[in-house]
């Protein structure tokens, strides 16, 4: 398996080795002292790490997270990252996100639409190390392209593509090929892995700006 970022560890919890971060629990996950399980079945980024993808994460990065929902994954990211901006469109999950952010001074929730980066460009700094995207909407590549403006030249895009959000009737392979093509003007794909072991009809992509 690939090395994990600093601040992320594999620990034996409930009789098996689990990927964990150190921080306050958020969603009732199993814990071992200060360490809490990063459940890959509830997190696409967690699945990417569990499956051994080379994400380029080292720990301490500045992060823009799109599709933060109620904070399940982004709270783990904030446990090992630097400043972490969490964009979520729906007001109801943002209430939970605010609770997750309360003990994490480096986690900044934003009630915004990831398809409209102009609405938060005055808050989110440019030159960020990582863009994490888990937005279940049509046009996932378009969202990644529009938000590329926030990434440093040597930054990384960590994208979880949900085929059924693009086209519920299309073959996932055809959807993924279209997403790759749409990304190609702004990004170079470095790695990709199907996430079906944890998330059906999902593809994990690691890319860097062109």
Query: Is 89 labelled as part of a ligand binding site?
Result: yes
Query: Is 88 labelled as part of a ligand binding site?
Result: yes
Query: CA-to-CA distance for 141 and 180, rounded, in angstroms?
Result: 8
Query: Is 14 labelled as part of a ligand binding site?
Result: no
Query: Is 114 labelled as part of a ligand binding site?
Result: yes
Q: Which two tokens stand for residue 180?
A: 């790759």
Query: Is 34 labelled as part of a ligand binding site?
Result: no
Rounded to the nearest 5 percent, the helix, strand and coil shares of the chain are 30, 30, 40
Which DSSP letter does residue 150 get?
G
Query: Is 137 labelled as part of a ligand binding site?
Result: yes
Query: Is 84 labelled as part of a ligand binding site?
Result: no
Query: Is 136 labelled as part of a ligand binding site?
Result: yes
Q: Which two tokens stand for residue 129?
A: 């190390």
Largest CA distance in the chain: 47
Query: CA-to-CA distance for 189 and 152, rounded, in angstroms?
Result: 16
Query: Which residues contribute to the annotated binding site?
Result: 72-73, 88-89, 113-114, 134-137
Query: Which residues contribute to the annotated binding site for S-adenosyl-L-methionine?
Result: 72-73, 88-89, 113-114, 134-137
């Amino acid at each position: 398996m690939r090395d994990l970022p600093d601040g992320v560890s594999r620990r034996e919890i409930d009789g098996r080795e689990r990927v964990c971060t150190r921080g306050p629990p958020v969603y009732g996950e199993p814990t071992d002292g200060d360490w809490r399980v990063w459940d890959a079945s509830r997190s696409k980024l967690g699945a990417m790490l569990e499956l051994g993808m080379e994400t380029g994460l080292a720990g301490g990065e500045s992060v823009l997270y799109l599709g933060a929902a109620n904070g399940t994954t982004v709270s783990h990211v904030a446990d090992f990252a630097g400043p972490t901006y969490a964009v979520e469109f729906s007001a109801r999950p943002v209430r939970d996100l605010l609770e997750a952010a309360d003990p994490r001074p480096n986690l900044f929730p934003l009630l915004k639409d990831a398809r409209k980066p102009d609405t938060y460009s005055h808050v989110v700094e440019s030159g960020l190390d990582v863009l994490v995207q888990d937005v279940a909407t049509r046009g996932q590549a378009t969202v990644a392209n529009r938000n590329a403006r926030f990434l440093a030249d040597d930054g990384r895009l960590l994208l979880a593509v949900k085929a059924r959000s693009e086209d519920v009737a299309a073959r996932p392979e055809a959807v993924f090929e279209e997403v790759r093509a749409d990304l190609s003007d702004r990004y170079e794909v470095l790695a990709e892995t199907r996430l079906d072991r944890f998330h059906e009809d999902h593809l994990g992509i690691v890319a860097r700006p062109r």
